[in-house]
Structure 1
Amino acid sequence: MHAAQHGGQIIYLAKLYNGEDWKYLTIAKGKTDEYNAMRRRQAGVK
């Protein structure tokens, strides 16, 4: 648990540092299929 809290602190600081350029590390709810299709296209997989 303690190490996870430090991970959260690091992410929080990175977000503060990057400001408007921050990109979230998660896939939006309900967008998994769309994300997987995009990654397959990027990898050249049909």
Structure 2
Amino acid sequence: MQELDKAVFEANVSIQANFVEIQLTWGARKVTRKSENHLWVG
């Protein structure tokens, strides 16, 4: 039973890590897009 809990816990951790990574990637993409727009306007 403990092994199963450990496996579930590890799966949740990796899912959360992936989610954070995706959010960071999208955030960075938004920032770069904003600065690109400023370059075009400027």
Scaled by the length of structure 1, what TM-score is found? 0.41
Based on CA coordinates, which of the two structures has the bigger radius of gyration? 2
Larger RCO (CA within 8 A; separation ≥ 6): 1
Scaled by the length of structure 2, what TM-score is found? 0.45
